[in-house]
Amino acid sequence: MGRVLKPGGRFFCLEFSTPPTEWLRKFYDLYSFNVIPPMGGILTGDRDSYQYLVESIRKFPKQEEFATMMRQAGFARVGYENYTGGVCTLHWGWKI
């Protein structure tokens, strides 16, 4: 992202995230691992892709970790906002 943006360019990333509260994380894990792949299998016939989706969400850096990575990559005015209890997060930063 830093390579393709011009100085002053803005980066936004809407991504599934890790809920910050333990009870919501447990509920989200239970739902995402036990509902999303079977539902994807029924609706599309491709359960494995939805299993991969659920697993890949867990590998994305947590909110503050991603913000730190952006700062280390040279972005300024870095921030994020959680939505739906942190299940989804909008990240942003400006290239300087």
Mind listing the pLDDT tens digit for each residue in 47-70?
999 999 999 999 999 999 999 999
The two tokens of residue 81 are 């906002």
Domains of the chain, by residue range, sit at: 1-17+60-96, 23-59
How far apart, in whole angstroms, are the C-alpha atoms of residue 61 and residue 3? Answer: 20
Q: What is the mean pLDDT of the chain?
A: 95
Tokens 């970790």 found at? 65
The two tokens of residue 60 are 């994305």
How far apart, in whole angstroms, are the C-alpha atoms of residue 37 and residue 49? Answer: 8
pTM score, two decimals? 0.86
Contact 79, 67 (CB under 8 A): yes
The two tokens of residue 78 are 């870095």
| Amino acid (1-letter code) at residue 84 | T
